[in-house]
Amino acid sequence: MTPLLELRGLTRAYGSLTAVSGVDLSVLPGERHALIGPNGAGKSTLFATVAGTLPATAGTVLFDGADVTALPEAKRARRGLLRTYQHSSVFLGCSVLDNVALAVQRVHRVAHRFDRAARRFRRTEAEALRHLESVGLAGRGADPAAALSHGERRQLEVAMVLAAEPSLVMFDEPTAGMSAAETERFAALVERLPSELTLLIVEHDLDVVFRLADRVTVLHLGQVLASGTAEQIRADDAVRAAYLGSARTDDLFTGGTP
Ligand SMILES: Nc1ncnc2c1ncn2[C@@H]1O[C@H](COP(=O)(O)OP(=O)(O)OP(=O)(O)O)[C@@H](O)[C@H]1O
């Protein structure tokens, strides 16, 4: 199967510091791929370089068979490669439904151009509602986005991303700052996403990683230390060693169970 995303020798330096160095990585269509590694490993830098938020210093990003290395983030997004941000991109002054409707409109600006205004409005609203339903916020459409809890805002962001009809969604630490209950709800939501949607997730919560990911890539000092299934990664001595020094080292790979 041809990978949807392929990185070849991807490198990103900040001056004399090479934060990401020669990374090769493939993500197949429909795969749920997690990117983990100790603090400072280069996850955020790699993530931003793949999304086009940061330009690469060297190497290639291939998306859906095309070289997108030179494309800015917005152009990659138009091709179906979308990222989320750790800091919410929700318009707090708008209703929950309007936030998703705006995201729908952005995509269908061209497709719905010749519709009458009323029909366009109905179609946009129906689509926005469908996305809200798929993230478990169907009943909250009329509420102001500001009334949502932190976890619900992240659910709303997913609806907004789905509205853009992506083929690859990159989640940047999606459960950061969430309570245990919010994390559980979010993980269940990700599990329910359409199976053809490809996901690349940077995540610190390894319980979430091992629950959601088909494959896990471990970064260490800007390079790929290991890549494989959750079981392979859990059993990898080099990966354990890379996490040494972390206070949670023992429970990192056991899901917290003794
Ligand atoms: N804007 C920047 N300018 C200079 N150095 C940077 C910049 N951003 C990150 N770095 C450095 O690049 C390296 C990789 O950082 P990065 O944030 O990508 O790692 P990370 O794995 O995401 O870490 P964390 O899990 O702590 O967020 C670190 O040494 C960091 O100090």
Q: Which residues of the chain have pLDDT under 70?
A: 86-87, 108-119, 244-258
Residues 35 and 100 in one domain: no
Is 222 part of any domain?
A: yes
* pLDDT the model gives residue 83: 92
Residue 131 CA to chain centroid, in angstroms? 17
Indicate the DSSP class of residue 192: H
β pairing state of 32-36 and 58-63: unpaired
C-alpha 127 to ligand 1 mean position (Å): 38
Is 186 part of any domain?
A: yes
**Using a 6 Å cutoff on CB, does residue 86 contact ligand 1?**
no
C-alpha 87 to ligand 1 mean position (Å): 17
**Using a 6 Å cutoff on CB, does residue 18 contact ligand 1?**
no
Apex CA 19: angle with CA 14 and CA 23, to 5°? 130
Angle between helices 117-134 and 150-163 (to 10 degrees): 130
Domain containing residue 124 = 91-147
* pLDDT the model gives residue 235: 86
**Using a 6 Å cutoff on CB, does residue 48 contact ligand 1?**
no
Residues 103 and 45 in one domain: no
Is 158 part of any domain?
A: no
Is 257 part of any domain?
A: no
Residues 226 and 176 in one domain: yes
Q: Which atom of ligand 1 is nearest to the CA of 45?
A: 18
* pLDDT the model gives residue 114: 57
Nearest of 188, 257, 196, 243 to residue 39 by alpha carbon:
243
Residues 213 and 247 in one domain: yes
* pLDDT the model gives residue 254: 54
**Using a 6 Å cutoff on CB, does residue 16 contact ligand 1?**
no
Residues 177 and 83 in one domain: yes
Q: What's the CATH number where 67 sits? A: 3.40.50.300
Residues 85 and 101 in one domain: no
* pLDDT the model gives residue 73: 94
Residues 105 and 232 in one domain: no
Please count the structural domains in the chain.
2
Is 153 part of any domain?
A: no
Counting Cα atoms < 13 Å in the Cβ hemisphere of 103 gives 29
Residues 35 and 142 in one domain: no
* pLDDT the model gives residue 11: 98
Query: Buried b / exposed e across 217-239, counting CB within 10 Å, b at 16+?
Result: bbbbebbbbbbeebeebbebeeb
In this prediction the ipTM stands at: 0.97
Give just the sign of the alpha carbon dihedral 113, 117, 119, 125.
positive
CA dist., res. 32 & res. 115, Å (int): 37
Is 204 part of any domain?
A: yes
Is 152 part of any domain?
A: no
Q: Which atom of ligand 1 is nearest to the CA of 14?
A: 4
* pLDDT the model gives residue 86: 67
Q: Whose CA is nearest to atom 5 of ligand 1?
A: 14
Residues 40 and 97 in one domain: no
C-alpha 57 to ligand 1 mean position (Å): 15
pTM of the model: 0.87
Residues 97 and 209 in one domain: no
Is 80 part of any domain?
A: yes
Residues 23 and 54 in one domain: yes
Ligand 1: which of 21, 35, 44 to mutate, judged by most atoms within 8 Å of the beta carbon? Answer: 44
